[in-house]
Structure 1
């Protein structure tokens, strides 16, 4: 027993003597050239140790390193990639005899890291990893030297990062991130033992300032290849003067590769004219190869309040499953469900994070009412009265809420279309837009290189069908557009009633539209739109005017009689109404307006201004059937002039043109007036003065 005690005392004495000799005869500063030389070989960079390297031997043996800098290559904004004021490391000596590396507290004061990406894409991290050479390989906690394996146990009393800072600068994107206050503490730990870590960070990204704090417990695997977490909790706030995140929180019950973690998060704050309160839950898993993040049961609830919303408040709930492939930068979203105040949609999609993000999606909904999300429009008065007629029904396709209203010249900002690639499909069973009911809507759309395209649009509309395509190109100073669509067998009366509260026109409509132009402001659309609209309406009626009645009243005037005052409906039936509208230089014009009916044939020509909404349309009406008191004027073309505006059209018989083109009719009208005077005045009607009065009366009536 005494021998063993003597041996132990001898070993202790030997260690003490060894430490004394080490401290006395070995100056650690002599290793500076060796360290800098090895770093130069491994990285191609300079390591500059300005401070002293000194021994520490209380409470454990260790080293302290003073001011140290690891240089950047030439051409970067700061000279150093890494620098620190003081680094301390200590190691217990006796445990080394039993292959136990017992490290004391590791402390790093005043560390600063600077990372920069230049305009040409080069960074000050380039060339570090490929030049690094490791003389011996370390696998887990087993150090290999040739054929011999030595197993070491490692423990650390703690790690402290105090008053550290960092800056990340990207000259290509003009992004500068500065972390000017970083503190990190890790309690005493060793593999397979839970220990607590805390952090506190403050900084800014360009004009955005933020701070974050948090804590978690860490368990390092025995082979050092995996780390487990539990009780992760982090909070953050940020502001840039316009956007403010008052409080953001993240919680994770545990984390282990290949296993599910329960995550909670919340964030509330505001952007201009919008306050938001968002919270959610999800199950998250990271694959064992560290490459795929899987999210299941994601549920995000957003309570939104603000003037920018279509409603004062909106509750938006999003449910989804998703995966993110880190190596491919690809996000896949499945089982997507969106509920905005009862308006629901579902689908799937993907997001590829490349220089120009690539998005794919497919969405569907049973019922969407867009009117409930749009501001209420000023009601348009019902124009089913004697001041309405066929000409305006065809010519006033774009209905304005106020005649001669000031139009906006502001172009929408669509520059974002240049920075995204997108392709997707939307299907809606029931869609309400502008009070019109549209069913079985299908839209196939895409965005690529600044061109947004609706490749295919189809829907059922009031007994008929609508198909079409459209494109907007934002690559020029003014965006250009192209629109093509076809309306087939659509019942016009309920459509016009729903969209414009307008009962002017009934019938089955077939309309082909081919339009193009430059500029998307209202003013530019009105001035620059060009193309054609071909209209064919069959088996219909024009409400608000009875053209045969107008002709009968004209006949009564010819005879010097009062208006007939018929009680027939103010309606003109027709078998076909056709026209082609040509749009150019702010005007829509037609030269082939035709309306055919059993009683009357109508042709017309004229134009309307898309800018000031005025109408100048001449319609020629001709009785083509006998009977009903129209025999005497059968075959006579009666011109009707439509003037006024889209909201207040005016209709007048052009009597002057009527008689100018019908000498026989004018002669007959004079005879009818003279006959009336003879009945009224007897023989005095033959007096020359009376005849002169009759001639003036005729001119007053028909000129």
Structure 2
């Protein structure tokens, strides 16, 4: 027993003497030239160790290295790629004999990393290794491997690694990209990892502050982790992380992520919450989901995602809103492809469901198919302010003054920002059973749309509209200074009165409408559309009526006045003119919509006309010629005579007037009859004095003013 004790004491003494000899005769600073020489040889860069290298004895034998710098090549903004103030590392010696690497506490203080990409694409990470040395080393390893594989007696020993702890104190980093003008800075980075070895649970914590251009952020958190024996997989549990972010008026006041556990190939329960604000909008978002990473580390699966958003602010159509999103999705990491197998969105009772995909690329590619039972689009648009336009006081602009249209009104000149269309590819389909837009009720809406290379296209649009159908297509190209557009559609057998009443609160026209539209232009502000829109609109309305005027009643009154009779109209007379067909082609351009082939046919009347309406100030200047084509109704005397009626005013309050001068122009017979009726009236009024020269001269002046 004493012999064994003596042997142990001898071994201890031998170790103490060895350590003493190591400290006495081996100065670690003498390795500085060797280290710098080898680093220079391998990387071509300078390693500068300004501080001392000293021995450590507790808790295990190791080294401490003082201030050290690893240089950048010339031409970069900072001199060093990596630098640190102090690094400590210790290793237990005896376990090395058993292929076990026991590392004491690793501590790195004041470390800083600087990575820069120059405008020409060169980075300070380029050329860090000697390719020839790597090639030679790889060839040697292959030779050794081949030899060992052929030696059946060779046994592979796997090293076991254990770390007493890792501590990163007050570290920082900066990543600068001169090509994208992006600068990311990490400051006050602290990281700790408790005693660590494979297949053993340990705890990690982190704390970091940073800045990305104008964005500032903080993040901190902790988790328990367990590294697999082969170092290829890791398990997590009790993950908790918090973050804040601020960028001008945009702020994330608090964001939190929680994870119960993570194991490759198994579903994990995730919770998250974030609240903050952007200009004119505050948000409070929270949700849950299940997440799984496939065993090949390539596919992320998301099941049962539920996100609830409580929103408030002036940017919303409502003062407050509740938005709920449910979805299932997968993400292929290699292909950068996200597939959403199903998504359901509920925004204040408006529900939309569907599926889609997202391919991450320089220009992202999106595909989708969405459907909804009912959408009231008007409820999502800003409320219209009371109109203060000049429409109600609009002055009709004569045809000769059309060039002055642009100075009459001042519609909005603000262009919508559609620049995002240049940075996305999209294709999809939308189906809506009931849609309300501009107060019009539309059913069975189907839209096929796409966006590519800055051109947004509605390839196909179809819907049921007030007993009829509408089909069409449209495109907007934003690749020029002012976006251009082209619209084509066909309206078939639509009941026009309820449509006009819903859209414009206008009850002037009824009937079945068939309308073909082909319009184009440039500029999408209200002013640009009114001034620059061009094309044609072909209108055919059958079995209808024009409300607000009874033309036959108007003609009977005119006839009675010519004969000196009382007004024959009745207060109960309905102010409308029925017709069997109304056709016209509107030609749009230079702020004017004009027609020269307006025709209206009815059992009583035949009407044709021409004129224009001003798209800027909404004035009307239209002359229609009316002929009586039916007998009876007290109008036989003027049957077959073209009677001109002028339509003026504006879109909201049109005015109808009988043009007496044009009525008698080129109608000698009617003029003769009217003169006889006037002379007969004068004789009744003045008797024998009607033949007096003064009275006759006054009557002649009256007749000239009437017929000329």
2:273 is aligned with 1:269: no
Report the alpha carbon displacement of residue 122 of structure 1 after superposing the two structures with TM: 3.5
Over residues 377-403 of structure 1, what are the superposed CA-to-partner deviations in whole Å (9 max), with x where a residue is unaligned? 46899xxxxxxxxx9xxxxxxxxxxx9
Q: Is the 8 A contact 2:409 2:616 kept in 1?
A: no
- Paired with 1:100 and 1:16, the residues of 2 have a C-alpha distance of 22
2:180 aligned with 1:201: no
Give CA deviations for 1:545-602 in whole Å, capped at 9, x if unaligned: 1111111112112212122113432111111111111111111111111111111111
Which structure 2 residues correspond to residues 191-230 of structure 1 after superposition, within 5 A? Answer: 191-230=198-237
Structure 1 residue 58, shift from structure 2 partner: 2.5
SS at match of 1:552: helix
Question: Does residue 8 of the first structure (1) align with residue 13 of the second (2)?
Answer: no
- Tell me, yes or no, if structure 1 residue 254 matches structure 2 residue 261: yes
* Among 557, 576, 598, the residue aligned to 1:553: 557
- Structure 2 residue 527 is the aligned partner of structure 1 residue 520: no
Q: Equivalent residues in 2 for 1:315-326 (5 A)? A: 315-326=322-333
Match of 1:365 among 362, 372, 376: 372
CA contact (8 A) 2:266 2:293 kept: yes
The answer to whether the 8 A contact 1:194-1:218 is kept is yes
Alignment counterpart, residue 596 of structure 2, candidates 591, 600, 607: 591
Q: Which residue of structure 2 lines up, in the alignment, with residue 565 of structure 1? A: 569
Matched-pair contact (CA < 8 Å) for 2:534–2:590: yes
Residue 78 of structure 1: aligned partner? 78
1:265-304 paired onto structure 2 within 5 Å? 265-304=272-311
- Find the partner of 2:462 among 458, 462, 478: 458
Shift of 1:79: 2.5
Which of 585, 607, 629 in structure 2 is aligned with 1:624?
629
Shift of 1:352: 1.5
> Who is 1:150 aligned against?
157
2:656 aligned with 1:662: no
Give the deviation of 1:702 after TM superposition. 5.2
**How far apart, in 1, do the equivalents of 2:127 and 2:628 lie?**
93
Q: CA contact under 8 A between 1:351 and 1:358: conserved in structure 2?
A: yes
2:561 match: secondary structure: helix
Residues 485 and 514 of structure 1 are in contact (CA less than 8 Å); yes or no, is this contact kept in structure 2? yes
| Counterpart position of 1:529 | 533
1:430-445 counterparts in 2 under 5 A? 430-445=434-449
Secondary structure at the aligned position of 1:523 is classed as helix
Structure 1 residue 189 displacement after superposition: 2.1
Query: For 1:674 and 1:575, how far apart are their aligned partners in 2?
Result: 40
Distance 1:500 1:555, change over 3 A: same
Mark the CA change 1:151 to 1:11 in structure 2 (over 3 Å): closer, same or farther. farther
Hey, what's the Cα distance between the residues in 2 that align with 1:498 and 1:191?
A: 72
Per-residue deviation, residues 478-526 of structure 1 (Å, max 9, x unmatched): 1111111111111101111111121111111111111111111111111
Distance 2:509 2:126 in 1: 73
What is the CA–CA distance in structure 2 between the aligned matches of 1:605 and 1:526, rounded to whole Å? Answer: 21
Give distance in 1, aligned partners of 2:482 and 2:535.
18
Match of 1:576 among 581, 596, 616: 581
Greater shift, 612-621 or 7-16, is seen at 7-16
Confirm whether residue 493 of structure 1 aligns to residue 487 of structure 2: no
Are positions 1:176 and 2:183 aligned together? yes
Q: 2:427, 2:449 within 8 Å by CA — same for their partners in 1?
A: yes
Q: Contact (CA 8 Å) 1:380, 1:501: kept in 2 or not?
A: no
Give deviations 1:610-667, integer Å, cap 9, x for gaps: 1222211111111111111111110010111112222222211110111112111011
Q: State which of 604, 607, 610 in structure 1 corresponds to 2:609.
A: 604
Distance 1:137 1:602 in 2: 100
Kindly indicate whether residue 417 of structure 2 is the aligned counterpart of residue 417 of structure 1: no
For the structure 1 residues 127 and 456, does the alpha-carbon distance in structure 2 shift closer, same or farther, using more than 3 Å as the test? farther
Distance 2:295 2:37 in 1: 38
Q: 2:543 aligns with which of 535, 539, 545?
A: 539
CA distance in 1, matches of 2:589, 2:158: 87
In structure 2, C-alpha distance between the alignment counterparts of 1:334 and 1:278, rounded to whole Å: 23
SS in 1 for 2:531: helix
Q: CA deviation at 1:699?
A: 4.6
Indicate the SS of the match to 2:157. Answer: strand
Deviation of the 1:404 alpha carbon: 6.5
The equivalent residue for 1:338 is 345
Residues 229-278 of structure 1 deviation map (CA, whole Å, 9 limit, x = unaligned)? 11011111111221111111111111111111111111111111111111
* Separation (CA, whole Å) in 1 of partners of 2:575 and 2:347: 46
Gaps in structure 1 of 5+ consecutive residues:
139-143, 382-390, 392-402
CA-CA distance at 1:354 after TM superposition:
1.2
Tell me how far 1:42 sits from its aligned partner. Answer: 4.3
SS in 2 for 1:676: helix
Which has the higher mean CA deviation after the structures are superposed, 20-29 or 477-486? 20-29
Give the 3-state SS of the residue equivalent to 1:555 in structure 2: helix
Alpha-carbon contact 1:533-1:580 (below 8 Å) kept: yes
Question: For 1:675, which of 656, 677, 680 is the aligned residue?
Answer: 680
Give deviations 1:150-206, integer Å, cap 9, x for gaps: 244332111100010001112222111111110001111222221111111011111
Matches within 5 A, 1:356-435: 356-377=363-384, 406-435=410-439
Offset of residue 687 of structure 1: 4.5
**Which deviates the most, 632-641 or 213-222?**
213-222
SS across alignment from 1:217? strand
Structure 1 residue corresponding to 2:452, chosen from 448, 455, 478: 448
Aligned to 2:639: 634
Q: Which runs of 5+ in 2 are unaligned?
A: 143-147, 389-395, 397-406
- Cα distance between partner residues in 2 of 1:274 and 1:619: 54
> Structure 1 380/574 Cα, relative in aligned 2: closer, same or farther at 3 Å?
farther
Q: Which residue of 2 aligns with 1:394?
A: none
Describe the superposition over 1:435-488 as per-residue Cα deviations: whole angstroms up to 9, x where unpaired.
111011111111112111111111111111111111111111111111111111
1:481 to 473, 477, 485: 485
Distance 1:200 1:378 in 2: 51
CA contact (8 A) 1:404 1:613 kept: no
Root mean square deviation, CA, Å? 2.6
Aligned equivalents of 1:595 and 1:291: distance in 2? 70
Aligned partner of 1:470 in structure 2 is 474
**Structure 2: distance between partners of 1:74 and 1:323:** 46
Q: Is the 8 A contact 2:256 2:273 kept in 1?
A: yes
Q: Could you say if the C-alpha distance between residues 378 and 672 of structure 1 is closer, same or farther in structure 2, counting changes exceeding 3 Å?
A: farther
Which stretch shows the higher mean deviation, 214-223 or 263-272?
Answer: 214-223
- Secondary structure (helix, strand or coil) at the match of 1:310 reads coil
CA distance in 2, matches of 1:376, 1:574: 37
Distance 1:97 1:689 in 2: 143
Give the stretch that moved more between structures: 50-59 or 174-183: 50-59
Tell me the residue number matched to 1:91.
Answer: 91
Do structure 1's residue 22 and structure 2's residue 22 form an aligned pair? yes
> What's the secondary structure of 1:150's corresponding residue?
coil
Change (3 A) 1:305 1:155: same
Q: TM (normalized to structure 1)?
A: 0.92
* 1:65–1:356 CA distance, 2 compared to 1 (3 A): same
